[in-house]
Chains A and B, each alone.
Chain A
Amino acid sequence: MSANFNFPLPDEYVRFLPEITLSAAATLVMLLDGVLTERSKRALAWFAMVGLSLAVVACVYAYQFPGTAFNNMIVVDGFATFFRVLVIAVGILTVLCSESYLRGERAGPGQYYALLLYSIVGQCIMASANELIMVFIGLEISSIASYILAGYLRDDRRNNESALKYFLLGSFATAFLLYGIAWIYGVTGFTNLTEIRRTLMTPETAPSISLIGVAAALMFVGFAFKVSAAPFQIWAPDVYQGAPAPVSAFMSAGPKAAAFAVFMRVFLTAFNPIANRWQPFVWGSAILTMVIGNFAALTQTNIKRLLAYSSIAHAGYVMVAIAADSEIGTAAAMFYLAAYALMQVGAFAVVTYFVRQGERYTSVEDLAGLGYKQPTVAAMLTIFLLSLIGVPLTGGFFGKFYIFKAALDSNLIWLTVIGLLNSAVAAYYYLRIIVVMYMHEPGEASATAPPVSPALSLAMWGAAVGTFVLGIFPSALLDFADRSANLVK
């Protein structure tokens, strides 16, 4: 790192504005939690919404001043903006899902929303980090907040188990990442991604490939854990199943998207010079992830667990895009993560609605006959599931199409074939949910289904409309992804 210290310019603060906004909102929520009465605490959800919405505005505003900030610690470019907006959007959907859930569980909303906002701060930092230390800080902020969120209902045994597992395994994986960072600093003398790349590119300064390889492998382990890519995916089903439903919705989309953002940033920028070395590993991990995710999901009876495995499988598709190691691949991964966030959070929103107090109804069978008791909700879930399957006119289809296009562009023919066949396997378990909803007689759970709360219904409609928009008019987002895919190098 350079020794001469430059005092930050105003523009640099603007580039950091989303994180500042979110941190301020989170801190305010925490403070207000102490002063407000029990009744008025409900307004905290709307307060968090306002904070998140302002943060979106801040992201867009910051994008008007692209560049680096704080001695190249963070970078604001299209890629960072894309992921910042994405994780904040996931946050908005999560808040909408959480409102009625927390009321049902009689859980205090204050710390919940504060933690959620802090977690998003971490993810925003990850999205814009240009520096391994920042990556690590962002990841830690995001993870620690999510560890607590996973165990938010502290009297619930499943919550406790989930949080503990997530924490132990998560810290273990983070340690790998940190070790990798230390190693890379040791061999190159840099933690800045651009500098690392330059060092590796220059034959005189490049350290031996085995040293770099170890560093890359350690960091791969850390990232693969965070995105739940095989063989580091074991934690995901247990954690998603045990955590409160809206938190599972959040964890399966937000942190994952941010982790993919840094994964791509680090491997496509810093480690780009050794791409031909890591590509086979990503290739193998992509296949393993898809196969494990899809085949394990086939036999699941708990809907949260099923969605957890499906989320693993979808991480596999994104890995295919990364394995393509091209700008189209990066754009495809970006688009896919956006589409995936909408459909996955949408599906979890329905689950959140359906589980009821104490998460009584979490088995797939419980959804029996929902199509006739709550036709709108069932139709929404059907849309999300069809999108997860990859039926045309939904975002999920176009995302998959784009990923496989990128893979074929890079001549990964067998990876494409395996991925395509996997999506056919996946159709089976998603269809099973549709079968239960529409082709089984209504059971107790759907007969007693309450009306949908306005916030939750907003989340579902938002996700469903978004899914269709991405499927029918993908151009706008796709253009943006294409333009932003040329990472800072």
Chain B
Amino acid sequence: MTILDITLFLPLLGFLALLLVPKDRPDASRTMALAVSLLTFVSSLGLIGPYWFRSPQGFQFEQNLSWIAYPPIRYHVGLDGLSLWLVLLTTLLTPICVLVSWKYIEKRVKEYYAWLILLEFGLVGVFLALDMFLFYVFWEISLVPMYFLIGVWGHERRIYAAIKFFLYTFAGSVLMLGAIIYLYNRTGSFDYSGVVAMITSGRLALTWTEQILLFLAFFIAFAIKVPLFPLHTWLPDAHVEAPTAGSVMLASVMLKMGAYGLIRFCVPMFPAASRACSDWIIPLAITGIIYGALVAMVQPNMKKLVAYSSVSHLGFVVLGIFSFTQQGLDGAVYQMLNHGVSTGALFILVGYMYERRHTLEIAGYGGVATPAPWLSSVFLMTTLASIGLPMLNNFVGEYLVLQGAAIANFTWAVFAAIGVILSAVYMLWLYQRLFFGRASEEVSRHMWDLSGREWAAMLPLLVLMVWMGSYTQSFIPPISAQNARILDLSKAGVDFRVDTRTARSAEVARVR
């Protein structure tokens, strides 16, 4: 029993306990959910220890127990620099989501918190699973609570959005299941490290077709989740229709499942295919960056605007991953965290405003700075973080991704940088329309400043924006160390005799 197991199973216990709370005591459910999620967060803080005080190799807190004897499916979990911060992000955001929903969710309170806590279980599990079967199990488990969160507590078109969300992800993931089984039939193991070792050492020799097809089966599942243009269409619906906490968990954590999968599975397991396919993946990522930003710009609905901004931001993550450079990968992972913090904060703030004014239309606001000065300051800071102002978190991630992209191919960086500029345009314009100008009578009557509970939910995120933007040393070393290993793996079996392609790739330079 390690601290990792505790972090993983506390939410599951919390979920079961919440089911036992009587239905007519909503406050008991709320308190219990808050207690469970805070406890989980505290326990997850213990995970940082090894990474801050020494720099460990390999997986930490590893636990490897037999679950099903044959086929050999194991409860194999462990933590590395890639999953560390994603787990912490999840455990931090869950109590925040509980706080955010405190007043907003008034009907079916018990069920709501039960699903929210179960969602945490699934998400933490996805980032920790080192057995591919177990990974798939957690991947699907996380789907069900979110489906209910959107479908029951969402806005008007919630049912459509919930089903679309479920079907998109499910359709993608069944192919991944097929690929996992195929790999098992070839290797006799579901163990992640074992399979990677077999592929790297060449003991499992996949033909080119096999590699490409397996890569695609994994890739499509992850690309839908990320979402990569043009598979993103479920995202605006799901984000807009979900209740605030649902949007936060979706944007901040669930999208990261896809990016995490790309780094954890696609790149190390199918290095040659990954590199070959990056020729069309990168253009798609860049298209996503620019397309997402342009569409965000014209949205009259502020939640939709934030949703499309996610498409744009996640494009950077994919670009970073498939640039196959240390900087690009580091930036991608860092950007995953940054997006989790700042977009999560944006969704929370949008939710606060909706709770007051009961509209998501940007036109319904204007001059909010007058009645709610603190709200507008917090929003401003989040906006600036989101557009990548130096000293705030997104700047670091975007910079690293752009640097990585520039090393690999300068043209990519040029196009991707357009996205950075556009993000400033749509976010600042949004800010201007919401907060500046004269407050109409409606606005001044309905808008009031942040309450203590609302501050409590926002404050950790604001602190993180500054911390992650100004003292990256706290966060990046474990990520870098892990990414260096991934990058090493991604060279296995790859033919670098690409001299004819001129020295446009950093890899080529290094190999020579």
Q: Report which A residues bind B (CB closer than 8 A).
A: 372, 386, 389, 391-393, 397, 401, 404-405, 408-409, 413, 416-417, 420-421, 423-424, 427-428, 431-432, 434-435, 438-439, 473-475, 478-479, 482
Contact = CB atoms under 8 A, between A and B. Distances in A.
B349 to A, nearest CB: 27
| Chain B contact residues: helix, strand, loop or mixed | helix
B484 interface: no
Contacts of B143: 391
Nearest to B133: A401
B177 A404 contact: yes
Given A405-B184, A420-B178, A438-B148, A474 B167 contact: no
Interface stretch (B96-104, B158-166, B329-337): B158-166
B475 interface: no
A474 B147 CA distance: 26
Given A405-B184, A475-B69, 18 more contacts: A389-B170, A392-B140, A392-B141, A397-B140, A404-B181, A408-B178, A409-B185, A416-B181, A420-B174, A420-B178, A421-B171, A427-B167, A428-B163, A431-B147, A432-B163, A435-B162, A438-B151, A479-B70
Contact of B163 (A372, A389, A431, A479): A431
B1 interface: no
| Chain A contact residues: helix, strand, loop or mixed | helix
Contact of A475 (B68, B136, B184): B68
A404 B163 contact: no
A433 to B, nearest CB: 12
6 contacts: A392-B140, A393-B141, A420-B174, A421-B175, A432-B163, A439-B162
A416 B151 contact: no
B144 interface: yes
Contacts of B466: none
Contacts of B178: 404, 408, 416-417, 420
Interface string B177-216: 1100110110000000000000000000000000000000
Contacts of A424: 167, 170-171, 174
A407 B146 CA distance: 32
B158 A479 contact: no
A75 to B, nearest CB: 26
Interface string B387-420: 0000000000000000000000000000000000
Give the size range of B's interface with the partner.
20 to 34
B108 interface: yes
Contact of B136 (A392, A404, A417, A427): A392
Contacts of B372: none
Contacts of B108: 372
B136 A435 contact: no
B427 to A, nearest CB: 33
A329 to B, nearest CB: 13
B137 interface: yes
Contacts of B175: 417, 420-421
A412 to B, nearest CB: 11
A164 to B, nearest CB: 38
B452 interface: no
Contacts of A475: 68-70
A420 B177 contact: yes
B129 to A, nearest CB: 11
Contacts of A428: 163, 167
Contacts of B159: 435, 439
A427 B166 contact: yes
A427 B70 contact: no
Contacts of B487: none
Nearest to A423: B174
A114 to B, nearest CB: 41
Contacts of B184: 405
B152 interface: yes
A82 B350 CA distance: 57
Contacts, number: 78
B71 interface: yes
Contacts of B136: 392
A401 B181 contact: yes
Interface in B7-44: none
B420 to A, nearest CB: 37
A474 B137 CA distance: 14
A86 B159 CA distance: 38
Contacts of A417: 175, 178
Given A424-B170, A424-B171, A427-B166, A386 B144 contact: yes
A435 B151 contact: yes
A408 B181 contact: yes
B152 to A, nearest CB: 5
A369 to B, nearest CB: 11
A421 B152 CA distance: 27
Nearest to B217: A417
Contacts of B140: 391-392, 397
B137 A392 contact: yes
Contacts of A438: 148, 151-152
Nearest to A404: B181
**Top 7 closest A-B pairs, CB basis?**
A424-B171, A392-B137, A420-B174, A392-B140, A439-B151, A405-B181, A475-B69
Given A392-B140, A427-B166, A408 B185 contact: yes
A405 B185 contact: yes
Nearest to B171: A424
B491 to A, nearest CB: 29
A393 B163 CA distance: 21
A393 B137 CA distance: 7
Contacts of A427: 166-167, 170
Contacts of A404: 177-178, 181
Contact of A391 (B70, B144, B148, B162): B144
Contacts of B71: 405
A424 B68 CA distance: 25
A244 B144 CA distance: 32
Nearest to B66: A475
Interface in B117-140: 136-137, 140
B49 to A, nearest CB: 31
Nearest to B166: A431
Contacts of A391: 140-141, 143-144
A479 B69 contact: yes
B167 A421 contact: no
A240 B152 CA distance: 31
Contact of A408 (B68, B70, B162, B182): B182
Nearest to B136: A392
B31 to A, nearest CB: 21
Contacts of A405: 71, 181, 184-185
Contact of A478 (B70, B148, B167): B70
Contacts of B182: 408, 413
B479 to A, nearest CB: 29
A393 B69 CA distance: 16
Contacts of A431: 147, 163, 166-167
Contacts of A401: 177, 181
A131 B166 CA distance: 48
A428 B165 CA distance: 11
Contacts of B167: 424, 427-428, 431
Nearest to A417: B178
A189 B448 CA distance: 92
A392 B162 CA distance: 19
Given A404-B178, A420-B174, A474-B68, A435 B137 contact: no
A172 B179 CA distance: 43
Interface string B79-116: 00000000000000000000000000000100000000
A439 B160 CA distance: 11
Contacts of B68: 473-475, 478
A405 B185 CA distance: 8
A439 B158 contact: yes
B215 to A, nearest CB: 15
A129 B159 CA distance: 50
A399 B163 CA distance: 24
Contacts of B141: 391-393
A401 B148 CA distance: 25
